[in-house]
Amino acid sequence: MQEATATVSHSRSAYFDEAQSADIVNGRMGQGIDPRLEQVMSVLVKHLHAAVKEIEPTHEEWFAAVRFLTETGQICNAWRQEYILLSDILGVSMLVDAINHRRPTGATPNTILGPFYVANAPEYENGANICLDGKGEPLVVAGRVTDLAGKPIADAKLEVWQTNDDGFYDVQQKGIQPDSNLRGVFTSDHDGGYSFKSVKPRHYPIPSDGPVGKLLGAMGRHPNRAAHLHFIVTAPGYESVITHIFTPDCPYLPEDAVFGVKSELIADFRKVEDRETAQRVGLEAPFWSVTWDFALAPATKPAHVIA
Ligand code: BEZ
Ligand code: FE
């Protein structure tokens, strides 16, 4: 009589096989798990395995990738988020932003927030000057906040921030720049109007002293962002806009390190030489002037919350 042998039934695909690798890993997914997690992980596994098959890394190359990710994590702290920076330079931040902010024609487009936004910046009256270090070429920014039909939106909140003329945000140079230099909050008037004084922004490098900077260099890319001012515009009943405006004369417009430029956001900065006009706005000639209007779409989901 033949001795009974224990038989455990395994499907052939339970064991590793190079050709079927992604299906085998995804086949391990449990029952009743969160469907979104299941979708995300199975797509990631599919594309990750496809990339590894196309690249065919050596063990040394794979370990270099692990070391890069380790160093990227190790440099992160309360102020520095190197993984977001990695997402930025790979265009992923802008892609996620685009997917989540498909707006009607005529609405001001979104761009990425960037790491240097600070909540609760000082509130100013329209016309105030946010440049506290006296560096740079004076600039007047003015415009209106409207809905998509051009109707003024009163009491909209406009948060603005930019680097100083040396290319640093105040929070990058605590103790060197005055606190809250070149950032402030304005409120649109009854006609949707807003205005403030600042300085013409310059291009500046993203933080490039870490693994992401090293990667950029190795890929033959520079770390510069095209010159811009950041804005967040919020008003009850409307979709908030996180955006920038760009100077038209910046050489880095077509090669912004984080792909943040959209053609609709390149503004018309004009040099004003006329002394009387300068006097009227409380500046000396020459100064720069830009008119920029924001068009907000009706809110379709709750106003954004910045954690
Ligand atoms: C910024 O514009 O402030 C910024 C955006 C992405 C990465 C670094 C800086
Ligand atoms: Fe910036």
Q: Which ligand has the nearest atom to the CA of 229?
A: 2
Q: Enumerate residue ranges in the chain where pLDDT < 70.
A: 1-13, 301-307
pLDDT score, position 305: 54
Within 8 A by CB and 6+ apart from 183, the residues are 118, 121, 122, 130, 159, 160, 161, 162, 170
CA–CA gap between residue 245 and residue 250 (Å, rounded) = 12
- As for ligand 1, residues whose beta carbon falls within 6 Å of it are 85, 88, 112, 114-116, 206, 225, 258
What are residue 272's DSSP bridge partners? Answer: 287
pLDDT score, position 304: 53
Identify the residue whose C-alpha is closest to ligand 1 atom 5: 114
pLDDT score, position 307: 45
- Residue 247 domain flag: yes
Are 23 and 160 contained in the same domain?
Answer: no
User: What domain range is 265 assigned to?
Assistant: 82-296
Q: Which ligand has the nearest atom to the CA of 116?
A: 1
Are 32 and 136 contained in the same domain?
Answer: no
Are 227 and 267 contained in the same domain?
Answer: yes
Are 223 and 284 contained in the same domain?
Answer: yes
pLDDT score, position 10: 42
CA–CA gap between residue 83 and residue 72 (Å, rounded) = 6
Q: What is the pLDDT of residues 91-128, one digit of tens each?
A: 999 999 999 999 999 999 999 999 999 999 999 999 99
Are 119 and 212 contained in the same domain?
Answer: yes
Q: What is the pLDDT of residues 199-249, one digit of tens each?
A: 999 999 999 999 999 999 999 999 999 999 999 999 999 999 999 999 999
Model pTM score: 0.91
pLDDT score, position 14: 81
CA–CA gap between residue 192 and residue 209 (Å, rounded) = 42
